Every structure is written in C-alpha cells, then in structure tokens.
Chain A
C-alpha cells in the first residue's frame, strides 16, 4: 500500500515535468534584459566588483557569456 502511494506520488510529481515548455528563440526578450546579464543593470558596480575580485584573487574572467540573449552568438 505504501509503495503504491509512493509510486503514485512520484508519478504525480514527475507529471509536472511534462508541462515544462522550451523557450522559443522569439520569446527570449525577457532573457535579453540588462537585469538578467551577469553584470546586472549597474555595469559600473559590476566593473568595481570585478576589480576587487582581480585584486584579491589575482585572476579574472570566466564571469560571463557573450551574446545578447537571442541565442545567435
């Protein structure tokens, strides 16, 4: 009985995964917004943080990705 209950619960939970839909290339406007970039909307603050990181860790880079969010770069 417990197994059946667990199995049905698991199936119910996994059933939710079927509702996940891909983001189409023309629906990426939200992802292209400045606030969703690693730098956020304040690029000066990001540059300052990068400078601090470089000073403390003696390494830089690897903190972002290229492109404008349209999936074409």
Chain B
C-alpha cells in the first residue's frame, strides 16, 4: 500500500491543498501538528521577496506564537549569499523569524511553487493554503487567512 503512495509523491510535488507533507520535511522544519505555520519561500535575488520579508517581520511581532509560527525558507543555492542576505535584514530588524537554508532546494522542490515569493499555510502537517507571487499588503492578507484557520 505504501509503495504506490511513495511513487505518486515522487512524481507529483505536494502543491495541492490538503497534501500531507513528507516526514522528512516535517522533521527538518520541526513542525508540530497543532500549530499553524506560515512558510515563506524567498531568495536573496528575488526583488519582491525583499519587499515582503519586512512586512512578515512586522506581522510576526503581533502574532500569538503559541498558535502561529512563521518559518522562512531561503532557496539560495549558495549558502553564503543567503546568510549574508539574512544578516543584512536581521541587522535592520526586518527579519525576526526562523530561517532554514535550503541550499539543496529539497524543501522548495517538494512544495513546488509556480513562482516566488511563495507563502504556504501548514496545519496538521498538511498544506491548507497558499499565496503565490508578490502582494503589496501581504501582512494583512496573511492575517486574514490565519483567522480562518
């Protein structure tokens, strides 16, 4: 029974809503089933991502951290680029959430977003929503979505 599921999960990434995340991703991101996660995919070369991250940082200050957690996934293939980019943002106070450096692109390949920036909402280790592409007021949009989860 497990083999067909494994084959299907290799062919189709978990871009469909309600798609359960593989155990390796859950473990790597330290996801807890009862919490709601906002997973933000970004990279140092993505102009729109640079605009969205400070908005998410502002949102993160007002979130109930017992219920909600924002996790950043840096898709830079060169680790030093990502680390430098994150350090510059943290220095300005524009990044205040945990970031996982996805240099091998294993995490982003699993989610398979059609564009960047990409935000995914994860609850009970499954994708329950997503926002793809640049949004001018992303923080208010995320807040609205979180209220419904």
Contact = CB atoms under 8 A, between A and B. Distances in A.
Interface string B15-42: 0000000000000000000000000010
A24 B75 CA distance: 12
A29 B47 contact: no
19 contacts: A25-B113, A25-B115, A25-B118, A26-B41, A27-B105, A28-B45, A29-B43, A29-B76, A68-B45, A68-B46, A68-B48, A69-B45, A69-B46, A70-B45, A70-B49, A70-B116, A72-B46, A72-B48, A72-B117
Interface string A14-35: 0000000000111111001100
Given A70-B45, A70-B46, A73-B47, A29 B77 contact: yes
Interface residues of B, number: 21
Interface string B103-118: 0010011000111111
A71 B105 CA distance: 17
Chain A facing B: main interface SS: loop
Interface of B: 41, 43, 45-49, 75-77, 105, 108-109, 113-118, 133-134
Contact of B47 (A24, A26, A67): A67
Contact of B105 (A26, A33, A68): A26
A73 B133 CA distance: 8
